[in-house]
Amino acid sequence: MFINRSVIRRFALTVTAGAGALALLTACGSADDITAGLVDMTSAPATSPTLQPGASFNEADVTFAQTMITHHKQAVKMAELAEERAKNPEVKDLAAKIKAAQEPEIATMTGWLSEWGKPETPSGGEEHDMSPMPSEGMGGHGMPGMMTDEDMKKLEAAKGAEFDRMFLQMMTAHHKGAIEMAKTEQARGANPQAKKLAKTIETTQQAEIKEMQRLLDQL
């Protein structure tokens, strides 16, 4: 039987070419499938993490800022009275130190309330009590350590050594109230910055109370 070798060779080449083409088509098909998969993945909507309402601050933070602003403003006013009425240079220096510390804190807390969309004073004019239980020296303001209007008038009328003693006694009570409010914020607040400031107030004013007690013992 005669076998045409040239025919066999052409047949083999045809089969090889066909197999190669089939392999190429299969590979292309796989690449298209992968590309399509990638497109589907990138076009899928991204899932955002669920944000908890008020996660950056809570009501305790707002109450702390609102009440501490009022509290600080009275302390600053008392400190300003010492500039003219105090006799003891150390009392004047302490008063200036208190004013220098608390005025920037007032500005900071006012800024927080603005960022949080909250008023500087509670809506409706109601007062908040930052203490967990009734406290002495609340002065009818709903905040521990606040002086009454009568107390402030007495302080304004005093001069010299009498003023020094009255100022130190009143400011000590005022600081103790602020420390109580600061501790409440640290226990109930959620905002890290507000809690950090509360800790600073507690530490700073506790040291100032010791200084005022030392000055009182010398009068």
Q: Phi/psi zone of residue 106: left (φ > 0), alpha (ψ -120 to 50 degrees), beta?
A: alpha
- Give the per-residue pLDDT at 122: 74
Question: How many angstroms separate the CA atoms of 177 and 120, rounded?
Answer: 20
Instruction: Catalogue all structural domains in the chain, each as residue range(s) with its CATH number.
Output: 59-218 (1.20.1260.10)
As a whole number of angstroms, the distance between CA 75 and CA 97 comes to: 11
Q: In the chain, count H helices and then E strands.
A: 6, 0
- Residue 6: is its pLDDT beyond 70? no
* 86 phi and psi angles, rounded to 5 deg: -70, 145
Residue 13 has pLDDT above 50, yes or no: no
> Is the pLDDT confidence value at 172 over 90?
yes
Residue 123 gets which letter from DSSP? G
**Do 188 and 131 form a contact (C-beta atoms < 8 A)?**
no
Distance of alpha carbon 38 from alpha carbon 74, whole angstroms:
64
Token pair recorded at residue 24: 């190429």
Please give the residue that has the higher pLDDT: either 43 or 5.
5
Residues 6 or more apart whose Cβ sits within 8 Å of residue 96: 79, 82, 83
Distance in angstroms (rounded) separating the CA atoms of residues 129 and 142 = 5
Could you give the C-alpha distances from 158 to 77, 82, 88, 109, 172, in angstroms and in order?
14, 10, 14, 32, 17
Q: What is the mean pLDDT of residues 130-154?
A: 68
CB-based contacts of 174, cutoff 8 Å, min separation 6? 71, 74, 75, 78, 137, 145, 146, 147
- Least confident range from 25-29, 67-71, 116-120, 179-183: namely 25-29
8 Å CB contact between 57 and 191: yes
